[in-house]
Structure 1
């Protein structure tokens, strides 16, 4: 019955929207999409790249998850890793998934992100 993932929601602390925009739109090249008016008053911001949507919602007592993360499939993984590193994002390569190259990084508020490219 499930046919697709509609979006992934990550949390963020109050007042972090500009840092999130700089990272998700500026560094990752995602497009910010408008939140519906009924939800816009809650703060946060939404981004899209192709069919992938990431929603960043504001959480007053925000604490980033230590293990949970979205896995984002990419092309040009080496270029992406270099771009993230140039912007001060941590890069931790992991060769634990056969048939893929992958690394972990984080957004400006500490959300864990995995980027992977099939070989």
Structure 2
């Protein structure tokens, strides 16, 4: 093949129309992602974009909306236990999972019900 995949550019998550403030609260204020400017031509579609280092999450709105319950992004985290304690302070429900050998992990749902996996590989 004459091509290669370099990286994931961004992850798109869906949310109900008009839920940008709820997305800002969760991804910016709780998880610490910075809001980034959407291109002018895309602003009319609603939604909001976030970045943490080179990880981007694009929250797009759709109507009708249906959350992703099985399909999900998985984020590798440094100091997963500290993140877990932080999320618990904000009353974010944690779903423990110890079925992946060599990793600690749990799942959370964003405010719209989309599944998100957070994991840390054993060293």
TM-score range, shorter chain: over 0.9
Query: Which residue does 1:106 correspond to in 2?
Result: 109
Alignment: residue pair count: 119
Query: Which residue does 1:46 correspond to in 2?
Result: 49
> What is the CA–CA distance in structure 2 between the aligned matches of 1:63 and 1:87, rounded to whole Å?
24
Q: Which runs of 5+ in 1 are unaligned?
A: none
> What is the CA–CA distance in structure 2 between the aligned matches of 1:56 and 1:26, rounded to whole Å?
15
TM-score by length of 1: 0.97
Query: Which residue does 1:58 correspond to in 2?
Result: 61
TM-score by length of 2: 0.94
Q: CA deviation at 1:37?
A: 0.2
Choose from 89, 93, 98 the match for 2:96: 93
Query: Which residue does 2:21 correspond to in 1?
Result: 18
Q: Which has the larger radius of gyration?
A: 2
Q: Which runs of 5+ in 2 are unaligned?
A: none
